[in-house]
Amino acid sequence: MVHGITPGAAATPGPPLLVIAGAGTGKTKTLAHRVAHLLLNGADPRRVLLLTFTRRAAQTMIRRVERITAAAREGTPGSAAGIDWAGTFHAVANRLLRLHAPRIGLAEDFTLLDRSDSADLMDVVRDELRLARTDRRFPRKGTCLAIYSYAVNARAALPAVLEKQFPWCAEWADELKGLFRAYVAEKQRQNLLDYDDLLLCWELMMRVPGLAEEVGARFDHVLVDEYQDTNLLQASILAGLKPGGRGLTVVGDDAQSIYAFRAASVRNILDFPERFSPPAAIVRLHANYRSTQPLLDAANAMIALAAEGFEKELQAARGGGARPLLVAVREEAEQVDWVIGRLLANREAGMRLKDQAVLMRASSHSAALELELVRRNVPYVKFGGLRFLEAAHIKDVLGFLRWAENPRDRIAAFRTLQLLPGIGPGHARRLVEALEPTRRGLAGLAGLRPPQAAADLWPAFAELLAALAASREWAGQIERVRRFYDPLLPELHENPRPRLQDLDQLETLATRFATRERFLTELALDPPETTGEEAGVPLKDEDWLTLSTIHSAKGQEWKAVFVLNIVDGCIPSDMATGTPAEIEEERRLLYVAMTRARDELCLMQPERFFVGRQARLGDRFVRATRTRFLPDSLLPLFERRVAGAIPVGERAGAASGPPVDLAAQLRGMWD
C-alpha cells in the first residue's frame, strides 16, 4: 500500500466508503492502512473513531497502525498512540454516555449489568410479577432476556419478534410486555444499564437535535470493521454520527455474517451504499492472501451451495498447497488422539503450537480434548468458553465491589447477602428493604438484625461493606474482600483451590485500573474469556495452542486449523435447525472456520457419539452423519482419511504429516 505524504489533502473526510470482500482478502489490513494513511496525511488521531467487534481486535488494529506509520516515518515510533477512541460499540457508548449523561437525564455514575446479571434482574422482576407461578410454563429468564434484547437490537416490535424468532412464546405477548416495562423501570430505579441500553441510549442520544451534531463533530473519521455483524441499532448510530456519510468507512464480508441470532442484520452491509446520496463508493478485493488454493476451492464450493448465492470466488495469491483433510474417526476419543497426534507432529516439524488452532461450534465440544491436553501437558488457551466472569466465585467477589460502588444495586446486594450462612432470598429481600429507610447507605447495615446463623459474621460483613463504600482508595479493596470471603469459599463452592487461583488472577487484573468504577466497567464490557482453570495460564514466552469456538475465531488465522465434529447436530447445531435462515447462518459459520486456515485444514468427522453409561446395556452410542454442508459432490475437493486403531505417532506420520521425531521427544522429557 502506498502513502502519499502530502499533509492535509487526504485527511479531509471524504464520501462514505464500503469495502466488501471475501475471507482473507485483506479487509482488516486495508482498514489499518487507511487509518495509517489518514494519520500520515495529517488527520488528528484524537478525532478518529475506530469501531471493532472485540476489544482484542481494536488493540491489534492500533498496533498495526503504529507499525505502519512508524515504518513510513522511518522509525519514528508512537505516531498512532493518540488514537484513543478505539473499541467496541458498547465500550464507546459507555464512554460517550458518561460524558453526556446529564444532558440525557442519566446519572453519570450508572453501573453496568453484564448478561448474566441482566438475566438475574429479569428473574427478580418476573418473580415479583408472579409470572413464574402461572399454570402454563412462562419462558425462563434467559429466554425473556433474549427476546427483550432481540427486540431492542433489531428495533422491532415485540409481536413481530415473537412471531418470527420465538413463536413458542407468542402466547405470552402481553405478559412479556409488562415484564419488560417493569424490568426497564427497575433498572432505572437502581441506576443500572445493561448491554442493550448502551447501544439504545447512544442511539437515542443521536436523535437529540444539537447533541447529535455535538457528538458527531467529535470525529472526523469513523471506521468500522466486521460491518456484516452489526445490527440496525448500530447502523442507526452511524447514520446519526455522520448523516451524510462523510468520513465514514465500513468493511465487511456478507458471507461471514454469523450473528443474526443476536439481531445482526446482513442487510446493513448490503444496503449501506444506498443509505447515502450520492451512494457510498464500493471497493471490492479479490485476491485471498491467507490460504492456499486447494483450501479455498473447498471453502468456495461449500459456500456456493448456500441458498443465497454469494458471488465471491476467492482466488489465492499464494501458490501450491494440499487439499484439506476430511478425517473419519470412529468416536470422540479417537478424534482427540488424532488431533493431538497431528498437532504435535506439526510442532516437531517446526510449526509452533501458536500457529495452530482447534475450532468448534460449541464450547463444550472440546471437553474431552481439553482433558487430554492437560494430561499430556500441552499448553492451550481457550476462547469462547465459560467466561471468567461467569464463574460463581468471581461473581461473588465482584458482588461486594458492585454493591459498594452502587448501594442501589439490588442484584449485587442479593448475591452478597446470600453468601452468609442462613440468608436465602427471603432474608436477603427483607434486609435490603430494611436498609433503604435507614438512609445511611451501606453504613446502615451495621444496625440491621440478620438471622441467627449469620449473626457471628454480620459485624465484619457490615463493616467491610461500609468501609468499601466510603473508601476512595481502590488499591487493596479486593484483598479486603478476600479476607472476609476466602474463608467462606469452601462452604460455598466445591473444588476451592483453582477458584482461589482465579481470585489471585482477579486481584492482579485489578491493579491495571485506576479506580473501582473503571475496573467494574471494563470487566463488564469486555471480560477476560477463560478461567484457564485446568490449562494454567501460559507464560508469555511459552508456546501454546488455541482452542476457540468458531464465533470467537472470526478475523483470525492460523497455519493449521482443525475443526471438530463436522457432523449434523454439531454443525448445523441441533439448537439451530429451526428455520432456513438459521441453517444458512450455520453454513456461514463453517465457511468462517474453513477460511481461518493458511496452509493446513483438517475437518474431523466422528462416526458415533457416546451418550452415557447404562447400567445393564453397557455404553450407548448414537451414530452421526457428515454435515449436510459437505455433500458427496464436494468430496473430491478433500483428501479423505480414515483413522484406524494405529498408535498416535504412527498415524500422524502415515497421515502424510511431517514425520515425528521420537528421539527429540525423548530428549524433550528432560528439558
Ligand X SMILES: Nc1ncnc2c1ncn2[C@@H]1O[C@H](COP(=O)(O)OP(=O)(O)OP(=O)(O)O)[C@@H](O)[C@H]1O
Binding residues: 21-28
By CB under 6 A, tell whether 33 contacts ligand X: no
CB of 23 to ligand X, least distance (A): 3
The closest of 637, 17, 601, 636 to 290, measured between CA atoms, is 601
For ligand X, the closer of residues 71 and 611 by Cβ is 71
203 or 229: CB nearest ligand X = 229
23 binds ligand X (CB under 6 A): yes
- Cα–Cα distances in Å, from 180 out to 143, 189, 262, 414, 546? 12, 14, 18, 21, 39
Q: How far is the CB of 569 from ligand X (least distance, A)?
A: 26
Choose, by CB under 6 A, the member of 3, 13, 28, 264 that binds ligand X.
Answer: 28
The stretch near ligand X (CB under 6 A) out of 22-30, 73-81, 320-328, 575-583 is 22-30
Site membership for ligand X, residue 56 (CB under 6 A):
no
DSSP secondary structure letters along 323-349: PPEEEEESSHHHHHHHHHHHHHHHHHT
CA 109 → CA 102, 467, 475, 517, 518, distances in Å?
11, 19, 20, 8, 11
# chain residues binding ligand X, by CB under 6 A: 15
Closest CA to 83 of 223, 234, 178: 223
37 in Cβ contact with 71 (< 8 Å): no
Is 253 a residue that touches ligand X (CB under 6 A)?
yes
290 binds ligand X (CB under 6 A): yes
Q: Which is nearer to ligand X, 19 or 124 (CB)?
A: 19
Give dist(CA 253, CA 290) in Å, integer. Answer: 15
Instruction: From 108, 111, 109, 182, select the one nearest 144 (Cα to Cα).
Output: 182
- C-beta separation of 220 from 47 below 8 A: yes
Shortest Å distance, C-beta 517 to ligand X:
34
Q: Does 230 engage in binding with ligand X (CB under 6 A)? A: no
- Using CB under 6 A as the binding rule, whether residue 555 contacts ligand X is answered as yes
Site string for ligand X, 315-334 (x = CB under 6 A): --------------------
Report the site for ligand X in 633-652 (rule: CB under 6 A). none
Among the listed ranges 16-24, 235-243, 541-549, 636-644, the one in contact with ligand X (CB under 6 A) is: 16-24
Q: Does 289 bind ligand X (CB under 6 A)?
A: yes
Q: How far is the CB of 317 from ligand X (least distance, A)?
A: 7
SS3 of 524-577: HHCCCCCCCCCCCCCCCCCCCEEEEECHHHCCCCEEEEEECCCECECCCECCCC
Among residues 27, 100, 361, 365, the one that binds ligand X under rule CB under 6 A: 27
- Of 27-35, 84-92, 558-566, 577-585, the segment contacting ligand X by CB under 6 A is 27-35
Task: Please report the sign of the dihedral spanned by the C-alpha atoms of residue 505, residue 506, residue 507, residue 511.
Answer: positive
Handedness of CA 597, 342, 588, 55 (dihedral sign): negative
Smallest distance from ligand X to CB 26, Å: 3
- Say whether residue 37 binds ligand X (CB under 6 A): no
Q: Which is nearer to ligand X, 558 or 629 (CB)?
A: 558
Q: Which is nearer to ligand X, 407 or 555 (CB)?
A: 555
The C-alpha atoms of residue 373 and residue 341 are separated, in whole angstroms, by 11
* 249 in Cβ contact with 584 (< 8 Å): no
Residue list for the binding site for ATP: 21-28
Nearest to 33 by CA among 249, 242, 289: 249
Q: Which of 29, 408, 429, 628 binds ligand X (CB under 6 A)?
A: 29
CB of 567 to ligand X, least distance (A): 24
- Joined together, the cell numbers standing for residue 399 give 458482588
Contacts of residue 88, defined as CB under 8 A and 6 or more positions apart, other chains included, come to: 51, 52, 53, 54, 55, 58, 525, 526
293 binds ligand X (CB under 6 A): no
Calculate the alpha carbon distances from 660 to 313, 328, 350, 653 in Å: 36, 21, 11, 6
C-beta atoms surrounding 482 within 10 Å:
18
DSSP 171: G
CB of 316 to ligand X, least distance (A): 11
Nearest by Cα to 482 from 512, 466, 460: 460
Please report whether residue 25 would count as binding ligand X according to CB under 6 A: yes
Among 23-31, 137-145, 354-362, 455-463, the segment contacting ligand X (CB under 6 A): 23-31
Which lies closer to ligand X via its Cβ, residue 291 or residue 605? Answer: 291
Of 194 and 225, the one with the shorter C-beta distance to ligand X is 225
503-511 own/partner pairs: CB under 8 Å, 24+ apart: 503/393, 503/394, 503/397, 503/478, 505/388, 505/537, 506/394, 506/397, 506/478, 507/478, 507/479, 507/482, 510/474, 510/477, 510/478, 511/475
| Least gap, CB of 601 to ligand X (angstroms) | 14
Q: Residue 65 Cβ, how far from ligand X at the closest point, in Å?
A: 13
Quick note: the x/- pattern for ligand X over 570-599, rule CB under 6 A, is: -------------------------x----
For the CB of residue 398, give the shortest distance to ligand X in the complex, in Å: 33
Find the residue with minimal CB distance to ligand X: 26
Looking at beta carbons only, is 285 or 489 nearer to ligand X? 285
Which lies closer to ligand X via its Cβ, residue 530 or residue 556? 556
Shortest approach of ligand X to residue 589 CB, angstroms? 13
Using CA atoms, how far residue 474 sits from 109, 231, 340, 437, 515, in Å, is 16, 37, 44, 28, 6
Cβ pair 270, 254 in contact under 8 A? yes
Q: Which stretch binds ligand X (CB under 6 A): 21-29, 233-241, 581-589, 651-659?
A: 21-29
Residues whose CB falls within 8 Å of the CB of residue 2, separated by 6 or more in sequence, listed in order: none
Binding ligand X (rule: CB under 6 A), the pick from 16, 26, 139, 294 is 26
Examine residue 262 and tell whether it contacts ligand X (CB under 6 A). Answer: no
Among 11, 17, 18, 24, binds ligand X (CB under 6 A): 24
User: Per CB under 6 A, which region of 18-26, 167-175, 292-300, 451-459 contacts ligand X?
Assistant: 18-26
Strands 356-360 and 545-549: parallel
223, 278, 276, 289: which is closest to 252 by C-alpha? Answer: 223
CA 93 to CA 201: how far, in whole Å?
8
State the cell numbers at 547.
Answer: 482452542
Q: Which is nearer to ligand X, 68 or 147 (CB)?
A: 68
Choose one: 17-25, 269-277, 527-535, 639-647; the region binding ligand X (CB under 6 A).
Answer: 17-25
Closest to ligand X by CB, 23 or 162: 23
Distance CA 100, CA 89 (A): 16
Residue placing its CB nearer to ligand X in the complex, 44 or 557: 557
> Which CB atom, from 296 or from 431, has the smaller least distance to ligand X?
296
**610 interacts with ligand X by CB under 6 A:** no
Q: Which stretch binds ligand X (CB under 6 A): 25-33, 461-469, 485-493, 582-590?
A: 25-33
Nearest to 442 by CA among 419, 472, 408, 475: 408
Alpha carbon distance 318, 219 (integer Å): 38
Q: Which is nearer to ligand X, 60 or 577 (CB)?
A: 60
| Tally of CB atoms within 10 A around 187 | 18
Binding site for ligand X (CB under 6 A): 21, 23-29, 253, 256, 289-290, 555, 557, 595
